[in-house]
A and B are shown apart, each in its own frame.
Chain A
Amino acid sequence: MTPPLLDVEGDEHGNTSLMTSASTMESVFKNPGLTERNYLGLSDSSSVDSSAVSAISEMKTNNLNLKATELRLGLPGSQSPGRDPDADLASSPCLDEKPLFPLIPSSSSQKIIVSGNKRGFSDTIGEGSWMIGSSAIDSDASKSLANGKILSGNQAAMIKDVASKVNGSNASVKKVNASNPPAAKAQVIGWPPVRSFRKNILATNSKNNDEVDGKPGPAALFVKVSMDGAPYLRKVDLRSYTTYQQLSSALEKMFSCFTIGQCGSQNLSESKLRDLLHGSEYVLSYEDKDGDWMLVGDVPWDMFIGSCKRLKIMRGSDAIGLAPRAMEKSKNRT
């Protein structure tokens, strides 16, 4: 949550009325060094521009997307940076090889996703977010993940850039897919002031009651996220994301302070930091309804949020054996 610093100098408000009724204490605090800055671009006028809210949230999203491309928990053996997103976008064959990439704006790809082609979603792991160390994979999993490995760090980052650009212009396509929360529904953290268990309960309630008002219930779904080595856990609302990539970006942002902490106080260059993160090989796993720990990314997104009870970011070495079970389990289901 980085409030943007829109350095718009606002009017200096009339000070006299502020000080007359204050106690003598405040004379201590008259500090000329504290100048007033109108960070939110709000002026003295009584009617506030409500579009400021959406403008700010847009800026926040943009900031987040930029940051997401700087710090990535990426593929092992990925190439060093030097990516030129626009150039790669034009010439890369990778996009064509990945028709199941959830953010490409074609309705056909959406359909494929919904039908649950597992191969495609294993590939999305390879976009550059979460990846098991290659030595840890046994043969079954490695086949499906092999495709993912084609993606280098470069291209993974590029696809992220595409994702952020495509996302921004894709509100209308998202509305087509009714099972995703409509992009038009803005979500501000902690607003409206309704407790999360109440949001969650209504979600499961409306699922059970079919559609009470003839529409699906896109209520929030908060789950806890813990990370090995981190002192405290976080909560995320799974319904505020529509793809694994969004979820992983958000989690990266949330937990990057812990991985950076491991770097110590030395000033690492950006590339060194990236290498460190690649080397750390974190894996995202989740506990499903049956209490089993599964690897995130094997099943279609909707199936995932339907069964995910909590998330855990574990070291790749701890995740040996997760992938095959997940594959088999979802095979048994479908």
Chain B
Amino acid sequence: MTSSFPEEVLEHVLSFLTSQTDRNAVSLVCKTWYETDRWCRNRIFVGNCYAVNPRILIRRFPDVKSIELKGKPHFADFNLVPEGWGGYVYPWVVELARAYPSLEEIRLKRMVVTDESLEMVAKSFNNFKVLVLSSCEGFSTDGLAAIAANCRNLRVLDLRECEVEDLSGHWLSHFPDSFTSLESLNMACLVSEVSFSALERLVARSPNLKTLKLNRTVPLEKLSTLLKRAPQLVDFGTGAYSAEFRPDVYSSLAGVFSACKNLKSLSGFWDVTPAYLPVINNVCSQLTSLNLSYATTQSPDLTKIVSQCCNLQRLVVLDYIEDTGLNTVSLSCKDLRELVVFPSDPFIGDVDVQLTEHGLVAVSEGCSKLHSILYFCRQMSNSALIQISKNCPNLTCFRLCIIEPRAPDYQTLEPLDTGFGSIVQNCQHLTRLSMSGLLTDRVFEYIGTYAKNLDMLSIAFAGDSDLGLHYVLSGCDRLRKLEIRDCPFGDKALLANASKLERMRSLWMSSCLVSFGACKLLGRKMPGLNVEVIDERENVNSIPEYAPVEKVYIYRTVSGQRFDAPDFVRIMGKDKDAVYNLS
């Protein structure tokens, strides 16, 4: 049947499959399908830049227009991965420049991006359109200037939470006057001031601009000037939102906001002056996404705003909103899909903010479409978790962080095993879970038994023994990313489930009980895995084999060991000179 199926038809059919998972599955059907897929797949996703290398990529996919690469493990966000670990994009850019001169899109997450890399991107791809750098570092505003100056067809420049060496705001002025294709600009993470007139002119000559996220240095008084130039904006991030209250500024702002008929998403609001918040009243009912996580203002101000956001789907806010504010959310935002509550004071200890488990339970009760939760709080109970699991059976992402490690159910003083157990039992679509609080091996038994769709699991200060880890590794069939810190998990469970590790993207374990010896054994026996021991102690060479490592990062790879690792990273069990080529 396959032989009578012309390739062009197959290619046409495959073009409707955009998800990477689907494409990967398709390529495994038979040789013809594999070949067809590789010739026409032009969007590539590499979840771990060390799982594969540019040469393998280029050999398989001859025509790539869009590439997404991820570097450091997730715990790098919390300073657990030392600087210098790796994740350099430069070697990739060099090869991509040679192989794909018509590359249009580069998306990078947690990678080290240098100015040289950016300059190379700017000069190598004639039709370059999209640059998204998410949690990246290593570059300065000079690199941005190169992009601005050279990428004539740029549509998207999105710097999400990057660490940029901010030499000056002058980079923005490098966009030539003839440049009019900008659709999305996110410079919120930059620190230095850009020339406002250059910014205004850029906005004025960009008729397709839909997303504009300013940095803190753009003052509130100047916002109306900008918004007047871009009433078509869909996603807007303010700069610093503070100024002395002046009625003329207020009414001018309120007026321009009202004119933004397409506005659906707001963010920014640093240093907020509450008196200016109501200027957005007229657009609140349009909003589907609102990020007030920098608005350090009291609950009444926040509540007034959210109470008007009847179409809100995504809310990011500080715990200043308190239980009362979340109660209002549960009554007013019936379409809410995603809730994120960050801690205003992220330190262990007592605070004055009245945000407890009650706020989360209220939202779970009132917002039936809720599917994604990230919640920082200071107390939790099993009964609350059970309630939440019953209210929201469609949860896909549940991340709960109780600030005090190993905090028990504050009412019964028991572990939170049954609460989380209820979550995994009732929420069959759960793909991401982060746990906290006092947890024993039992919760892992529940997870291994029920969380069959779990894709990513984050564990901290939990469990009693290797059994816990064993339950997870042996039970969670779809698990791809597992990150663990400060848990008493050791060699037994790891080695017993070694083959599972090849079916996962990666495993991170820090401050656990995995020994040097086990890491070496695993690395030696499993050529398809890189077992990286990350250990910065001075005397690391004299530590005995049975002693635990500081950190170990294990990931599957077809590229063999890497050679760009620093001294404190040792790739265990591999012959230092050998290069395994398993493709």
Contacts and interface: CB of A to CB of B under 8 A. Distances in A.
A233 B75 contact: no
Contacts of A214: 352
A90 interface: no
B298 to A, nearest CB: 7
A73 to B, nearest CB: 15
A22 B474 contact: yes
Given A13-B467, A22-B474, A260-B538, A36 B490 contact: yes
Nearest to A19: B496
Interface string B474-496: 10000000000100101111011
Contacts, number: 187
A32 to B, nearest CB: 12
A194 B346 contact: yes
Interface residues of B, number: 77
Given A205-B271, A219-B345, A257-B536, A36 B296 contact: no
A198 B291 CA distance: 13
B294 A205 contact: yes
Contacts of B566: 231-232
A198 B342 contact: yes
B343 interface: yes
Given A1-B536, A3-B550, A46 B470 contact: no
B496 A186 contact: no
B84 A219 contact: no
Interface in B472-528: 474, 485, 488, 490-493, 495-499, 511, 513, 515, 517-518, 521, 525
A256 B538 contact: yes
Interface in B552-570: 566
Contacts of A215: 352
Contact of A188 (B161, B348, B415, B547): B348
A182 B348 CA distance: 11
B294 A44 contact: no
Interface string B435-465: 0001011100000000000000010110011
B403 interface: yes
Contact of A187 (B348, B511, B521, B537): B348
Nearest to A52: B406
B347 A187 contact: yes
Contacts of B580: none
Interface in A26-58: 26, 28-29, 31, 33-40, 42-48, 50, 53
Interface string A177-220: 00001101111111111111111011001101100111101111
Given A23-B499, A235-B79, A206 B401 contact: no
A28 B525 CA distance: 9
A243 to B, nearest CB: 19
B535 to A, nearest CB: 9
B39 interface: no
A25 interface: yes
Contacts of B492: 15, 18, 34, 36
A25 B499 contact: yes
A53 B461 contact: yes
A160 B513 CA distance: 33
B474 A21 contact: yes
Nearest to A237: B79
Given A50-B406, A219-B346, A192 B401 contact: yes
A218 B351 CA distance: 12
B396 interface: no
B79 A196 contact: yes
Interface of B: 75, 77-80, 82-84, 161, 163, 189, 242, 270-271, 293-294, 296-298, 320, 342-349, 351-353, 376, 401, 403, 405-406, 415, 434, 438, 440-442, 458, 460-461, 464-467, 470, 474, 485, 488, 490-493, 495-499, 511, 513, 515, 517-518, 521, 525, 536-538, 546-548, 550, 566
Given A195-B77, A231-B566, A235-B79, 4 more contacts: A29-B521, A34-B546, A185-B347, A212-B320
12 contacts: A5-B547, A13-B465, A17-B467, A31-B495, A34-B515, A39-B488, A45-B464, A46-B440, A194-B343, A194-B376, A205-B270, A235-B79
Those 6 A-B pairs whose CB atoms lie nearest each other, nearest first: A232-B84, A190-B78, A29-B495, A185-B349, A22-B496, A26-B496
